[in-house]
Structure 1
Amino acid sequence: MINLIRRDVILQKRYLLTFIPFILLFVIMDSHPALTFLVASIFIPFNAFAYDEKAETNILLNSLPYTRKEIIAARYIGAIVYMVIAIGLTSLALFAFNEPVTLTDIAIGNSLFLVFAAFTFPLFYIFKSGHIFSIVIISFLLLAGIGPPIVRFLVENLTAITDFIAKFSVPALYTGAGVIVMTLYAISWGVTTFIYQRKAF
């Protein structure tokens, strides 16, 4: 399974040359650190899906001595591994430009990545290859654009919910959010495995 995770990096070595400039662009544009961490985390896993869509890699993968469970596990575990690497590289870039960054920024950015991955990873196995990657990326850009205003609107108008949340301590909120995010990710993993095991190639 480790070889499957390494495979994504090897196949994307050309794309990886653009990774640092891509992240630096967000840093120079003074984007919110949480958004920068989110975008950095998305880079490798979703490029891997884009490559697989073009090359129809699933046919090749299923001819290798790996079970379908292992193939999906490599996707989900690999996404977390690449996310950790992205945290390190993005943090270095932010520090190099003297941009303030907090653990909260990292937590928010990567929680959003895991939630986004949880909802989109199964789509690559539900629908036919060809346009899924484009749809997912367009959806991400739309959410990144309209998401913050929607959240601000909800915070300002749904005071009952915000008052209820305010009763909890910060550690309790972080713990609760972490549990919810990891639960969504685990459910997505299970759903994708179920779909992939029954898919014909």
Structure 2
Amino acid sequence: MFNLIKKDFVIQKSQIILFIPFIIFFAIFGDHMSPAFIFLLAGAYIPLNGYIYDEQVESNILLNSLPYTRKEIVSAKYIGGIAYMTLSIGVASIILYIFNYGFMIKDITIAMGLFFVFSAFAFPMFYILKPGYIGVAVLVGMIISAVVLPPLIRFLAKHLTTITDFLTSLSTTALYLSGAALSIILYLTSWMVSQFIYQRKVF
């Protein structure tokens, strides 16, 4: 399974070279952006590119001819997603620190939680949608999320006072632990859903 995880890194050598300039761009020109969103983009960079590459070259046909079970193929994507997300956020934090872009540990934890939530919905789509539509759907989804979520959260905070009063009554630690638990549960559920879909997929 380690070779399956390493595959995403090896096949993206040219794209990974662009990763550092990509983060440097945000470090210089993205001072109006939330650090958590920059960390989210960094964390999703390699996992999403890996899925998009597999879609373009139809590598699933090759993978299913190798001595790997379909369970291992899907598991490698989800475990690799965690590994590459952690590595990418670590590199991004070093770059932002070098460029004096202010961020806190909570920005990293929020980004990791958002990665789990976003991936929980995005990863199964790569096994459901037809090739050629997946990359576009994910990119459009990220853009829409970036535009729609902030005003939606402000709207809900303003009008759903019962929920907001309950959330504000919780301690910061309780909020972070609840968010972490929810995001991890969603990710694990997504993992099982992807396993179910991929086991029945015909190539």
TM-score, normalization by structure 1: 0.97
Tell which deviates more after alignment, 121-130 or 183-192.
121-130
Q: Distance in 2 between matches of 1:127 and 1:166?
A: 39
Counterpart secondary structure, 1:183: helix
State the 1:157 CA deviation: 2.0
Deviations 1:98-119 (A, max 9, x none): 1221111011112111101000
State the 1:178 CA deviation: 0.7
* Counterpart mapping for 1:1-201 below 5 A: 1-29=1-29, 30=31, 31-201=33-203
> Considering only aligned residues, what root-mean-square deviation do their CA atoms show, in Å?
0.9
AA in 1 matched with 2:9: V
AA in 2 matched with 1:89: V
Between the aligned residues of both structures, percent identity stands at 50
Q: Distance in 2 between matches of 1:64 and 1:74?
A: 14
Q: Which runs of 5+ in 1 are unaligned?
A: none
AA in 2 matched with 1:167: S
TM-score, normalization by structure 2: 0.96
AA in 2 matched with 1:163: D
Q: After the TM superposition, which parts of structure 1 deviate over 3 Å for at least 4 consecutive aligned residues? A: none
State the 1:94 CA deviation: 1.1
State the 1:73 CA deviation: 0.4
Deviations 1:138-196 (A, max 9, x none): 11111111211111121122221111111211111111111110000000000000110
Aligned residues between the structures = 201
